[in-house]
Structure 1
Amino acid sequence: MRPLAAHIDLDALRHNYRIAADCAPQSRSVAVIKADAYGHGALACARALEPLAPALAVASIEEALALRAGGITKPIVLLEGFFDADELALIDEHGFWVSVHSDWQVEALLAFTPRQPIPVWLKVDSGMHRLGFEPARVAPLWHRLAAASQVGELHLMSHFATADAGDSGYFETQLETVKALSRTLEAPLCLANSPATLAHRTAHGAWNRPGVMLYGSNPLEVDNPIAASLRPVMSLRSKIISLREIAAGEPVGYGGRWRAPRPSKIAVVAAGYGDGVDRHAADGTPVLVDGQRCAIAGRVSMDMLTVDVTEVASAAIGSEVVLWGESAGGARLSVDEVARHCDTISYTLLTGVLPRVPRYYSGT
């Protein structure tokens, strides 16, 4: 069998969730498992987190229904709400909680007769300018929803544009906008995403919603001691399938982008962009071979990539190669570091691992 696989450590997932919860002991932490749990497998991750998390969060009703079909009974928040009024019957049937960010959603909800009141998170556009109501419109909508028999527990929510940045000026502006509304309305808040959970205690509310940090990625632009204690959940591992010696100056890969600076030993690894390895990985992108750091040399192909293993004496056919995560021997390579070499972020690497890559779970 092809040796590439994503190894998912559910004990690490639970460890990271506990860190998120410990960051804000006065808050409840909803575990965000949208986008197939950031590529880790939503149902397996939901089952691992359900005993710990008071609620889970996804992007759409399709994701939520798949969790219910898999036996998940905890509350599930639909972070983008519903996309059609017809979904309200399923929301009511399965006890989902909904974000409401548009006028048509408010009208659809208030025209519906649920069997039980539906918990609602009213979304404020505090400066992200993506989803949500302008702050000046929130108070009348809040009072209208609070008085409606269709609506259960009601919260204000918003999303930060720059919580991950070292400069927190715009973050503070957004935070004060929502907190001012909260004081006026005596409204509980759900504001903190992963970076705000880690680094901005003032944003901790009745609920926080940690996401990428649960999977072992540090979303902050600066070092953070709490983030340093996160453990990688996904380890993307393959093996060397071919080795060759090349002379100084010889090119490797499509376009001959990389040329050997000295007589070199090149390993071919079974992993490529057809698996989700970023084709934009630059020469020098780190990998681990037998637990030792070395670098990608040449463009990533669809099914293979090439690595300069000249300095790795143990490199042989079948040697373990870690694209990110943890080696069998315990050496680690951060997905965040790999992402920087690909001019992207960890979210895209983790969610981009394609279905042909098998997932193997430990810690179940």
Structure 2
Amino acid sequence: MATGSLSIDLDALMRNWQALNKATGENVETAAVVKADGYGLGAGRAARALARAGARRFFVAVAEEGAALREVLGRGPEIYVFGGHMPGDTDMINDLDLIPMLNSLNQLTRHFEALPGAPFGIQLDTGMNRLGMEPSEWAAVAEIALPAGPKLIMSHLACADEPDHPQNAQQLATFREMTDGIDVPRSLSATGGILLGPDYHFDLTRPGIGLYGGMPFENAEPVAHLSLPVIQTRELEPGESAGYGASWVTDKPAVLATVAGGYADGLIRAMSNKAMLFFEGTPCPIVGRVSMDLITVDITHLNTTPKSLDILGVDQSVDDLADAAGTIGYEILTSLGSRYKRRYAGGVS
């Protein structure tokens, strides 16, 4: 069966990084987050392009991702691991010069005992209650950690995509209380935090989703373009249905196109009877349930039979598609499957 074509615009990725970099001050460094295989678009290709754009520090979720990235980037750029120093990570961290963001006393003890003198960072919990040392824990270990010279101290905002949310200011205040007066580079902001303004920027920002074309960066250029080939078309009479469960029934003559793609390819079932595909800018609604490998689309209003229909690109962003499915752009990007023909364009500075 024919597969969809996923085109990744590395030039757009680079321009998104440059735009977010420009949004911070001259004394603020802009890193790049390439975890989850570059948000589903290929960490290696993305990181190489971002390095050409100017990124010198990269963030991944776990040490294994850092190992794959080091193979691509070589020894120059710094690679930070959000998950910290987990059991079994010591050799990778040491051999590949990874920098774990230590999240707890246990991780700090493990790192100091296994790799004394090796680089590390500290992650603090300022209210998200996910990863990092809480204020009381940090107060207890700061006098041990700080003399060892951490490369970075960071925290993460829980509500940065909602500029008016009171927790943003609360976390900023907590971060300052925990770190003011410490002579170590600090980082609080990912994409949303950058857009909150200079009070949140500190020494380094860590954009992620905005690089790949997602909200809350409204000016982001689309990076992922996904086109699905039409396998078959058919004409329906009033009263006929489409797809599993007969969840859509036409009340008039209709023409449907069946395209190659489904929830096995990250086009989740929640898109059923809600999301759109596009042909040369004209929206064509999904009708019937999204199945594992196939989607049926109403093309009655088109004057021609298309060879393919677009589901991501200039007509529909990852967030537009996510809104229709009741989810977020992150899930759409990171769910894109392995069956697509991937084509990379640009990426040369």
- Shorter-chain TM-score bucket reads over 0.9
Distance 1:166 1:50 in 2: 29
Equivalent of 2:82, from 70, 74, 79? 79
1:223 is matched with none
Query: SS of 1:274's equivalent?
Result: helix
Query: SS of 2:114's equivalent?
Result: coil
2:333 is matched with 350
Which letter does structure 1 place at the counterpart of 2:144? Answer: R
Query: SS of 1:321's equivalent?
Result: strand
Which letter does structure 1 place at the counterpart of 2:46? Answer: C
Aligned residues: 344
Deviation at 1:130, TM superposition (A): 1.1
Query: SS of 1:359's equivalent?
Result: strand
- Aligned partners of 2:163 and 2:196 also within 8 Å: no
Residue by residue over 1:161-197, the C-alpha shift from the partner in whole angstroms, topping out at 9 and shown as x without a partner, is 1111253201111111001222243543211011111
**TM-score of the aligned structures, taking structure 2 as reference length:** 0.93
2:126 is matched with 126
- Aligned partners of 1:282 and 1:341 also within 8 Å: no
Which letter does structure 2 place at the counterpart of 1:9? Answer: D
Query: SS of 2:119's equivalent?
Result: strand
Decide whether aligned partners of structure 1 residues 202 and 282 sit closer, same or farther in structure 2, where only a CA change above 3 A counts: farther
Deviation at 1:310, TM superposition (A): 1.4
Distance 1:83 1:153 in 2: 18
Query: SS of 2:93's equivalent?
Result: helix
2:12 is matched with 12
Confirm or deny that 1:211 pairs with 2:208: yes
1:192 is matched with 189
2:310 is matched with 322
Identity across matched positions, percent: 33
Which letter does structure 2 place at the counterpart of 1:87? Answer: D
Within a 5 Å distance, the mapping from 1:190-269 to structure 2 comes to 190-218=187-215, 220=216, 227-269=217-259
2:93 is matched with 91
Deviation at 1:349, TM superposition (A): 0.9
> Which blocks of at least 5 consecutive residues in structure 1 are unaligned?
221-226, 327-331
Which letter does structure 2 place at the counterpart of 1:83? Answer: M
Distance 1:267 1:113 in 2: 59
Distance 2:152 2:126 in 1: 15
1:294 is matched with 284
Query: SS of 2:152's equivalent?
Result: strand
Residue by residue over 1:244-295, the C-alpha shift from the partner in whole angstroms, topping out at 9 and shown as x without a partner, is 1112232111111111142211111111112111111031312112331121
**TM-score of the aligned structures, taking structure 1 as reference length:** 0.89
> In angstroms, what is the RMSD of aligned CA positions?
1.8
Deviation at 1:105, TM superposition (A): 0.8
Deviation at 1:15, TM superposition (A): 0.7
Distance 1:5 1:266 in 2: 21
Deviation at 1:11, TM superposition (A): 0.4
Deviation at 1:62, TM superposition (A): 0.8
- Aligned partners of 1:122 and 1:142 also within 8 Å: no
Residue by residue over 1:210-261, the C-alpha shift from the partner in whole angstroms, topping out at 9 and shown as x without a partner, is 001100011x3xxxxxx33211111111122211111223211111111114
Query: SS of 1:300's equivalent?
Result: coil
1:100 is matched with 102
Which letter does structure 1 place at the counterpart of 2:4? Answer: L
Residue by residue over 1:83-139, the C-alpha shift from the partner in whole angstroms, topping out at 9 and shown as x without a partner, is 11x42333233221110111111111221345xx43332111111111111113323
Query: SS of 2:89's equivalent?
Result: helix
Deviation at 1:360, TM superposition (A): 1.0
1:362 is matched with 345
Confirm or deny that 1:336 pairs with 2:337: no
Distance 1:13 1:186 in 2: 33
